[in-house]
């Protein structure tokens, strides 16, 4: 390019001299022929003027050539830069999948999956590590410390093995996180995933809550007429009788259990009624049902029962009363007062209901209340009724949640004596029946029952 410019400049000088000389000769000849000195001077001036014009013309050309060359070089540079940019391939995106799995009872492997959004022509390496949440590395799983996961060219998925340290201890579900700490040859997209370990252990240990509500030992203008604190080694036979068997049509409710005395026992001043999954008497489940019929009944007063309740699909605990004339008039003519019922698939809700005969037809009226948090299994609560000749009121932990006026003549059943029934049914028309989610054994724990009447 430098040589080309030098040649152009040489040509420019020669052409300029030639044109100037020719113009001078033409003017000189005219001066000779004319014989005038003035013409010669004008010829010289004209030669100089033409020389300037020619010089200006070629300088413009030279500048334009150099500008053109500059723009050509600049355009070529830009074109090369764009080619370089488009030529660089986009990196694939690296993601990691979450996983939910049962914990198990021993060490067992799981596989955490990493994925590329597109195959790569180069090797991709992801470096992963674990982060404790509620599960602990070394205790619940084998921790991961900046381990490489290698994708060979063309691979889209790789699985990394993590050992879960299972046990037989019943506990809450736990979790930890696996995150992509760094990557070579890929961009990090979804860079972390939660690994959830579901507890699959059955809690067969007896759980008696240490906390919960306790009702007052006395109430204004009332006296304690009967109580059972369930102290001692056995259920007080002077108060309670156990009903045995399957009843008529599953105790009228298509229940599945066989009732036995052996499913009830006392522990540390608490009554325990235990529903079990076991074959007995042609049934696959056993439980207990105990009554005070012919041993204690009463008309009107306040009842406080402190209890913790079982839960689970098909489980049906109840603290209730039947009219003392049940044997002679039958149900529902005897009347029924359900102080507390719970259906196990709703472990935070209890119901209070009355049943009676209305012109020979079954009638009922009930209400319910729900805990703001937790289950009735978690701690003790007190289930109460206040009952007089005008009204029955239901209370949970001292707070009324339902009531009924019993003064109408068709509700005369509720102006008679009643006796108590405690039981835990398995299955029935209302709660449905146990399934794979139902854990056995299930237990109702009763701390005390107290009956007060007006002075």
- Mean pLDDT over 190-204 rounds to 83
Query: Does 328 share its domain with 422?
Result: yes
Domain harbouring 146, CATH code: 2.60.40.2030
* Residue from 103, 158, 255, 336 carrying the catalytic annotation: 336
The verdict on whether 336 is a catalytic residue reads yes
Query: Does 18 share its domain with 109?
Result: no
Q: Domain boundary at 198, 232, 248, which?
A: 198
| Bigger pLDDT: 84 vs 369 | 369
Query: Does 407 share its domain with 290?
Result: yes
- pLDDT (0 to 100) of residue 80: 56
- Whether 55 and 15 have beta carbons less than 8 Å apart is answered as no
Residue at 214 is within a domain: no
Domain harbouring 402, CATH code: 2.60.120.200
Query: Does 190 share its domain with 230?
Result: no
Model confidence at 421: pLDDT above 90: yes
Query: Does 17 share its domain with 36?
Result: yes
Question: Residue 86 belongs to what H/E stretch?
Answer: helix 37-87
Model confidence at 368: pLDDT above 90: yes
Q: How many domains does the chain have?
A: 3
Query: Does 296 share its domain with 329?
Result: yes
- Whether 149 and 162 have beta carbons less than 8 Å apart is answered as no
Closest to 270 in 3D by CA, of 311, 211, 228: 228
Kindly report, residue by residue over 22-66, the tens digit of the pLDDT. 544 454 545 444 555 566 666 656 656 666 665 555 566 666 666
Phi-psi region at 282: left, alpha or beta (left = phi > 0; alpha = psi -120 to 50): left
- At 118, the pLDDT band (50, 70, 90 cuts) reads very high
Q: Domain boundary at 87, 119, 153, which?
A: 87
The verdict on whether 341 is a catalytic residue reads yes
Query: Does 80 share its domain with 104?
Result: no
Question: What gap in Å lies between CA 406 and CA 233, rounded to an integer?
Answer: 40
Work out the burial of residue 380: count CB atoms within 10 Å of its CB; fewer than 13 is exposed, 13-18 middle, 19 or more buried: buried
Distance of CA 352 to the CA centre of its chain: 32
The range of the structural domain enclosing residue 360 comes to 222-454
Query: Does 244 share its domain with 191?
Result: no
| Bigger pLDDT: 309 vs 167 | 309
- At 104, the pLDDT band (50, 70, 90 cuts) reads confident
Grouping H, G, I as helix, E, B as strand and the rest as coil, residue 89 is coil
Please tell me whether the overall predicted TM-score, pTM, comes out greater than 0.75 for this model: no
* Residue from 103, 158, 255, 341 carrying the catalytic annotation: 341
């Amino acid at each position: 390019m430098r040589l080309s410019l030098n040649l152009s400049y040489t040509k420019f000088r020669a052409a300029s001299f030639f044109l100037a000389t020719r113009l001078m000769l033409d003017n000189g000849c005219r001066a000779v022929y004319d014989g005038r000195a003035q013409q010669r001077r004008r010829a010289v001036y004209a030669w100089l003027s033409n020389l300037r014009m020619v010089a200006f013309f070629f300088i413009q050309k030279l500048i334009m050539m150099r500008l053109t060359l500059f723009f050509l070089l600049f355009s070529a540079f830009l074109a090369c830069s764009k080619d370089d940019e488009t030529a660089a391939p986009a990196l694939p995106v690296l993601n990691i999948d979450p996983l939910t799995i049962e914990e198990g009872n021993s060490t067992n492997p799981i596989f955490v999956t990493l994925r590329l959004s597109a195959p790569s022509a180069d090797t991709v390496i992801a470096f992963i590590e674990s982060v404790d949440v509620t599960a602990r590395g070394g205790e619940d799983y084998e921790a991961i410390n900046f381990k490489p996961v290698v994708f060979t060219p063309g691979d889209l998925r790789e699985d990394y093995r993590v050992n879960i340290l299972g046990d037989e201890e019943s506990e809450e579900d736990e979790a930890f996180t696996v995150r992509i700490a760094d990557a070579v040859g890929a961009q990090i997209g979804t860079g972390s995933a939660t690994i959830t370990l579901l507890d699959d252990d059955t809690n067969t240990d007896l759980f008696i809550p240490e906390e919960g509500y306790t009702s007052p030992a006395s109430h204004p203008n009332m006296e304690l007429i009967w109580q059972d604190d369930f102290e001692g080694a056995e259920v007080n036979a002077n108060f309670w009788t156990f009903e045995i068997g399957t009843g008529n049509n599953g105790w009228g409710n298509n229940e599945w259990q066989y009732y036995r005395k052996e499913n009830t026992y006392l522990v540390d001043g608490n009554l325990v009624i235990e529903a079990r999954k076991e074959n007995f008497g042609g049934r696959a489940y056993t439980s207990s049902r105990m009554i005070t019929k012919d041993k204690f009944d009463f008309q009107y007063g306040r009842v406080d029962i402190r209890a913790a309740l079982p839960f689970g699909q098909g489980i049906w605990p109840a603290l209730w009363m039947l009219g003392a004339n049940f044997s002679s008039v039958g149900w529902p003519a005897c009347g029924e007062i359900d102080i507390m019922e719970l259906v196990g698939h709703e472990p935070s809700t209890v119901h209070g209901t009355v049943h009676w005969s209305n012109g020979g037809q079954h009638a009922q009226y009930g209400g319910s209340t729900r805990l703001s948090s937790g289950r009735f299994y978690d701690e003790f609560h007190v289930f109460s009724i206040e009952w007089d000749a005008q009204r029955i009121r239901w209370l949970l932990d001292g707070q009324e949640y339902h009531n009924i006026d019993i003064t109408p003549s068709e509700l005369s059943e509720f102006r008679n004596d009643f006796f108590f029934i405690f039981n835990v049914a398995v299955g029935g028309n209302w709660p449905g029946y146990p399934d794979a989610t139902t854990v056995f054994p299930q237990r109702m724990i009763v701390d005390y029952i107290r009956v007060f009447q007006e002075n």
